[in-house]
Amino acid sequence: MLRGLSIVLLVTQLFGNCLGQPIPPKPFGPVPNKNQIRWQQMEYYAFIHLSTNTFTDQEWGYGEDDPKIFNPEKLDCRQWARVCKAAGMKGIILTAKHHSGFCLWPSKYTEYSVKNSSWKAGKGDIVRELADACKEYGLKLGIYLSPWDRNYSDYGKPEYITYFRNQLTELLTNYGEVFEIWFDGANGGSGYYGGANETRRIDAKTYYDWPNTYKLIRKLQPNIVIWNDGGDRADLRWVGTEDGHVGEKNWSLLNATGEVTRDMLRHGLENGDSWVPGEVNTSIRPGWFYHEYEDSKVKTLPRLLETYYSSFGRNGTLLLNFPVDKRGLIHENDEKAVLELAETVRKTFAIDLATNKKVSASNVRGNAKVFGPDKALDGKKDTYWATDDKLRSASLTIDFGKPTTFNRFLVQEYIPLGQRVKSFQLEAKVGSEWKQLATQSTIGYKRILVFPTVQATQLRFTITDAKSSPIISNIGVYNAPQVLTAPAITRNKDGAVTIEAADKESDIYYTLDGSAPGKHSTRYTAPVQTDGKIEVRTIAVDSKSGAGSPEAREKFDITRKTWKLLNLADEKANAVIDGNPNTAWYQPRDQKMPVDIVIDLGEQQTLTGFKYLPGQGRIDGIISHFQFYVSTDRQTWKLATEGEFSNIKNNPLIQIKQFDAVKAWYIKLRALQNTQGNGEVGYGEIDVITQ
């Protein structure tokens, strides 16, 4: 009986169904819906962060600022659209309302919006201008509407949900089609709240009544995808970091209910019951909002390329943020950086070395032409190479016909039928030997592998394990131009500057006087002893080709050689002032907030600010609320500044706080709260800004 059945199956696979058509594979496991597929194919789109924060130099506005301060006099959404289009992006998501509650459109339901700002004498509407610009440039429009609203008096009460839905209705009704809606999960508690100035925490899972909010959204915008990192499982997921990457292993699946850990956000869940693909959100600068001091901190080409390959090169999409400046424009430095990225990507993927090459496979579904390996090389997204149902491994070999040089491999699964591949490897035939280039895990919608340049006559792609029979819709082979990385600069406590290039074959040149570095500058050979305030500017130059890297630039204040940590017996505590961002020190665990760290500067200084870098690579011990005191005698302490390190949980970078000049011999950083709500307090670095 069983034998009879397998003969029937074999015959069906060989000759197809009764119409003579070979039978395509059936979907396996959860599959994307049509909105998710349309979204995934967009691959790359922009975020714009603009609000009152842009004018107050903050990452999170408190909700109390006078709307009059909002005045981006040269605001030009067509400039944003032009840059995004030229960068190869497919859409723009705008912070229509960030946590401060200030609305970039003249909402009927609040006075806290552009209508009471100085911009266009209150007659403007940025959502409208952006919707029009997107239309003109063939881009899609997305909306960020912060659930947390630090201005609205009823935030925290049921009344706010009506307000929130009214605003959603305005945004999803009046501005044409919206491709994505973005609900940030942040709630730092404190806020202005109509003058109450208090702390209001809510349960993000239940407070916003997401099921009914989602229903409303889908009714108003049937083609939309919903991103939500705080509440109910939505159509898309956060990838657990704002640093610009998703895990190499990246399943587009999660469970519809139950706890979601950072690890699940990063890697998805191999056996998840729902299709919830990852979107990599990151900013082109360290912060999300514009800060003039970050004009020299725009991500370099190598850094942006890393993000590119670690996002939609790993089965994600890339949502890259521009902190629009006070003029209302994408800053020149950001434009230059993103266009440089676009140009490098264009050059890299201009020629697919696999096109029209001889290709063979270890197995072809039913031996049918329509599922042959050439379907993975034909450039069409709806054709694919498929194997017989029972197989969980298979290989495809491309014969270049002659020695061919390459360093990138691109592969795509046909995701309408599910994500299947669990592991694969890549080998190249160099001379007469097969050499392994990579072993990897998942593929998904798109996977791009980066490896050292190789010259080979053949390339073998082997799927070593899969959840169901593999289906590959596209394969490409490319030779990317070499790009040098900007060197890394550090200065230790005693003032010794170390500069390191990633590429050991390059020479490093530097200046200390603020002038632009070049081959004419001093060549770096060993750490350089420095003193006082300096600016280090440096580049790496390839010793063979003479090509230069992007410039790295770092400003340092006074050295910390006379500094002493006062209240701490632990020797390791010196990590706090050693100048190395990768070392950290954590106060003993049994502390109760507030927790202090006191530093003797060794001499009197006039301070205008301080810097705090949390320990890198750990999610605990990150200070969120602080006070910073100074003293000249260690008896009387003066509060120089206090407040929150906004968004430090998701974006744990160096925090810079400035204040009016004050004399200090001793400083005290007091941690009032951390991001986890417990007593753990850690420090990567503490530094000061002198007058």
Interface residues toward ligand FUL, by CB under 6 A? 59-60, 184, 186, 281, 288, 647, 650
Q: How many CB atoms lie within 10 A of CB 96?
A: 29
Closer by beta carbon to ligand FUL, 186 or else 450: 186
DSSP string, 520-558: TSEEP-S-EE--SSEEEEEEEEETTT-PBPPPEEEEE-S
Rounded to a whole number of angstroms, the minimum distance from the CB of residue 288 to ligand FUL is: 4
Using only C-alpha atoms, what is the Rg of the chain? Answer: 28
* CA atoms within 13 Å, Cβ hemisphere of 642: 10
Closer by beta carbon to ligand FUL, 281 or else 674: 281
C-alpha–C-alpha distance, residues 358 and 36, integer Å: 34
Q: Using CB atoms, what's the residue nearest to ligand FUL? A: 186
Closer by beta carbon to ligand FUL, 186 or else 488: 186
Rounded to a whole number of angstroms, the minimum distance from the CB of residue 60 to ligand FUL is: 6
Rounded to a whole number of angstroms, the minimum distance from the CB of residue 51 to ligand FUL is: 9
Rounded to a whole number of angstroms, the minimum distance from the CB of residue 95 to ligand FUL is: 6
DSSP H or E segment with residue 45: strand 44-49
Closer by beta carbon to ligand FUL, 95 or else 315: 95
DSSP H or E segment with residue 128: helix 126-137
Distances (CA, A) of 65 to 57, 195, 274, 584: 12, 11, 42, 36
Retrieve residue 592's tokens. Answer: 């109760």
C-alpha–C-alpha distance, residues 281 and 267, integer Å: 15
Closer by beta carbon to ligand FUL, 49 or else 267: 49
Rounded to a whole number of angstroms, the minimum distance from the CB of residue 476 to ligand FUL is: 31
Closer by beta carbon to ligand FUL, 294 or else 413: 294
C-alpha–C-alpha distance, residues 25 and 126, integer Å: 47
Rounded to a whole number of angstroms, the minimum distance from the CB of residue 199 to ligand FUL is: 17
Only one residue has tokens 């994600």, namely 316
Q: Tell me, what amino acid is at 186?
A: A
Q: Are 417 and 27 in contact (CB under 8 A)?
A: yes
Closer by beta carbon to ligand FUL, 61 or else 156: 61
Q: Tell me, what amino acid is at 303?
A: R
Closer by beta carbon to ligand FUL, 458 or else 647: 647
Rounded to a whole number of angstroms, the minimum distance from the CB of residue 27 to ligand FUL is: 33
Rounded to a whole number of angstroms, the minimum distance from the CB of residue 215 to ligand FUL is: 25
Strands (E), 62-186: 91-97, 140-145, 178-183
Please, what is the Cα angle at 250 between 249 and 253, to 5 degrees? 135
Q: Tell me, what amino acid is at 502?
A: A
Rounded to a whole number of angstroms, the minimum distance from the CB of residue 650 to ligand FUL is: 5
Report which of 673, 536, 683, 662 is spatially closest to residue 595, judged by C-alpha positions.
Answer: 673
* CA atoms within 13 Å, Cβ hemisphere of 288: 28
Q: Omega of the bond prior to 403 within 30 degrees of 0, cis?
A: no
Q: Are 26 and 417 in contact (CB under 8 A)?
A: yes
For 438, the 3-state DSSP assignment is strand
Closer by beta carbon to ligand FUL, 60 or else 112: 60
Rounded to a whole number of angstroms, the minimum distance from the CB of residue 49 to ligand FUL is: 6
Closer by beta carbon to ligand FUL, 241 or else 605: 241
Closer by beta carbon to ligand FUL, 162 or else 676: 676
Closer by beta carbon to ligand FUL, 52 or else 441: 52
Rounded to a whole number of angstroms, the minimum distance from the CB of residue 174 to ligand FUL is: 23
Rounded to a whole number of angstroms, the minimum distance from the CB of residue 164 to ligand FUL is: 17
> 332-349 and 301-311 are packed helices; what angle lies between their axes, rounded to 10 degrees?
60
DSSP string, 133-154: HHHHHT-EEEEEE-S--SS-TT
Q: How many CB atoms lie within 10 A of CB 346?
A: 10
